[in-house]
Amino acid sequence: MSKESQLEQLVAACHWIGAKGWAPATGGNMSLREDARWCWLSESGKDKGSLTPEDFLQVEIATSRAPSGRTPSAETGLHTLIYRLFPDANCVLHVHTVNATVLSRVEKSDALRLTGYEMQKSLAGQTTHLDNVPVAIFDNDQDIGALAERIAQYHRQFPLRYGFLLRGHGLTCWGEDVVQARRHLEGLEFLFECEMQRRLLERA
């Protein structure tokens, strides 16, 4: 598939995310790998529900810099980190959903552990509801470079899969293409909502 077609797929996914209310108030950011050196990242301050291909900036993966001089997303360093850590990752989606934001604060450990849900099989490589699926949680940080280094250090000890949570901030997930990244986002968001409801009902 051509880069233009993939970018069109990503724009459509952004509109879907916007319609879901998962990237409110111009929050969130999305990207697509072009090759080993470059990726395309949504420009800062843009409403995700009305993005066009022209709202994506070419960014160098090694340096997180945009040659155009325009301002890419605040979390650019997290997107480029994922592309460096995962050669098979070709699309990254970062959203600010209520479930991800709240669960990341309610869960005090370093990971949200999901088990017993059939929809765990929406995540690549998962074949049974019996598995324990950890989603790492990192304390939020306005210093994206420092945050990226903490995530990289964690990954060296506990390899990340699918995505991670930033406490009080949201979810970042990825896939081998736009379709898989979107499936991971939708699957994880469903699982987070189930987990929120389970915890509320068990406390009642």
- Tell me the mean pLDDT per 10 residues along the chain, length 204: 84 97 94 96 92 95 92 91 97 97 96 96 93 96 96 97 97 97 98 96 85
Q: Is 197 exposed, middle or buried (0-12, 13-18, 19+ CB in 10 A)?
A: exposed
Q: Give the CA count within 13 Å in the CB-facing half-sphere of 53.
A: 7
pLDDT tens digits for 99-146? 999 999 999 999 999 999 999 999 999 999 989 999 999 999 999 999
Q: What is the pTM of this model?
A: 0.95
Report which DSSP code applies to 38: E
Selection from 50, 13, 19, 18 nearest residue 32 by Cα: 13
pLDDT at 5: 87
User: 3-203 maps to which CATH number?
Assistant: 3.40.225.10
Q: pLDDT tens digit string along 185-194?
A: 999 999 999 9
Q: Among 138, 192, 171, 163, which residue's Cα sits nearest to residue 27?
A: 171
Q: Where are the domains of the chain?
A: 3-203
